[in-house]
């Protein structure tokens, strides 16, 4: 018996019980139907299943096997991690086992029992559909590159991302360029390496099997320069730390409930920009603006 007999959970449960050989009758439950024992007695069935989708619980009532006996009441909780059809299959198997223990089975020669499926009407049927557990903390690793005035610089990134609410995340990240960018002129060459770290705030207009995000961030960029020159010039080492702001846009594809493949693009500005000089003269600069992208994997921790 159900207030909405066409829901996927009710249809699957009825089908599973029919496959076991039971005769299943599905009827509409009225608002005034409250006592499960009275419902079972009025239906003249052998058993009744009442589903409360709001509390994710199932009440099972089995009619007395012998005259004068008492009905048997049991209660189980649905697993919210399972899909509705999986919960229905598991419940049908447990229900068959209960009836078999009581000597009520299609093969026993008795009149086939009539399980009645009851669903309370004070909660929407959509509550029966189990949804994936959203992870609140993610760790991601990515490889990509950045271009901002000294050519394309490959980099690797590690990010820790937390979701205070499902549609918003805050992140801390660190980025390292494993290979140096080379800047040269007639007076010498300079190898430039970048190390940066910062924070991001991203909003998620879509977060399902496909994920879309956009956000803003701030970071510190450390540029380490190592110069080489021929006489009469002399090369030297130097480093500079500058702040920067950026915006990012990205998308992801859920590979499982814990793993996503991510593609992100970004653009930003350093203030001030990083300058590279030979013999006191500027030959290149970095960070006005810089842009790049990355491809990586994110793993949900919990």
Say whether 20 sits in a helix, a strand or coil.
coil
Specify the pLDDT at position 71: 74
CATH C-level class of 137-300: mainly beta
How far, in Å, CA of 293 to CA of 263, rounded? Answer: 7
From residue 281, how far is each of 96, 128, 181, 275, 276 by CA, in Å? 86, 70, 19, 10, 8
Segment among 114-123, 194-203, 212-221, 238-247 with least mean pLDDT? 114-123
Q: CB of 217 within 8 A of CB of 201?
A: yes
User: Per-residue pLDDT averaged across 217-229, rounded?
Assistant: 94
How far, in Å, CA of 12 to CA of 226, rounded? Answer: 69
The residue among 171 and 283 whose pLDDT is bigger is 171
**Averaged pLDDT of the chain:** 83
pLDDT digits (tens, 9 = 90+) for 9-30: 778 888 888 887 778 877 776 6
Taking phi over 0 as left and psi of -120 to 50 as alpha, with beta for the rest, 280 belongs to left
Q: CB of 161 within 8 A of CB of 170?
A: yes
Within 13 Å of residue 162, how many CA atoms lie on the same side as its CB? 4
- Asked if pLDDT for residue 6 goes beyond 70, the answer is yes
Specify the pLDDT at position 1: 65
pLDDT digits (tens, 9 = 90+) for 30-76: 655 567 777 777 777 778 887 776 677 777 888 776 666 677 778 87
Which part of the chain is CATH 2.40.160.20?
A: 137-300
Within 13 Å of residue 55, how many CA atoms lie on the same side as its CB? 13
Specify the pLDDT at position 119: 53
Specify the pLDDT at position 108: 46
Scan for tokens 């496909």, then name that residue. 210
User: Per-residue pLDDT averaged across 269-297, rounded?
Assistant: 91
- Asked if pLDDT for residue 223 goes beyond 70, the answer is yes
């Amino acid at each position: 018996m159900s207030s909405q007999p066409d829901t996927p959970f009710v249809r699957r449960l009825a089908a599973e019980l029919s496959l076991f050989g039971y005769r299943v009758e599905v009827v509409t439950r009225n608002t005034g139907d409250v006592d499960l024992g009275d419902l079972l007695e009025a239906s003249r069935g052998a058993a009744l299943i009442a589903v409360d989708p709001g509390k994710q619980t199932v009440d099972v009532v089995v009619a007395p096997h012998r005259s004068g006996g008492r009905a048997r009441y049991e209660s189980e909780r649905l697993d919210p991690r399972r899909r509705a059809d999986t919960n229905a299959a598991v419940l049908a198997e447990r229900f068959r086992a209960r009836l078999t223990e009581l000597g009520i089975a299609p093969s026993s020669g008795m009149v086939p029992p009539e399980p009645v499926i009851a669903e309370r009407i004070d909660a929407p049927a959509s509550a029966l559909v189990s949804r994936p557990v959203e992870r609140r903390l993610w760790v991601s690793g990515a490889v990509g590159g950045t271009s901002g005035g000294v050519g394309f610089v490959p980099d690797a990134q590690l990010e820790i991302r937390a979701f205070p609410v499902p549609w918003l995340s805050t992140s801390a990240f660190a980025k390292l360029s494993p290979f140096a960018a080379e800047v040269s002129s007639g007076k010498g060459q300079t190898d430039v390496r970048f190390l940066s770290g910062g924070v991001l705030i991203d909003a998620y207009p879509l977060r399902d099997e496909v994920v879309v995000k956009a956000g803003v961030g701030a970071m510190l960029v450390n540029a380490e320069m190592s110069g080489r020159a021929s006489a009469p010039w002399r090369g030297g080492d130097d480093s500079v730390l500058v702040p920067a702001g950026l915006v990012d846009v990205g998308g992801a594809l859920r590979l499982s409930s814990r793993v996503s493949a991510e593609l992100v693009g970004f653009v930003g500005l350093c203030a001030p920009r990083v300058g590279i000089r030979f013999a006191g003269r500027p030959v290149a600069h970095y960070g006005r603006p810089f842009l790049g992208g990355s491809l990586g994997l994110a793993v949900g921790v919990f």
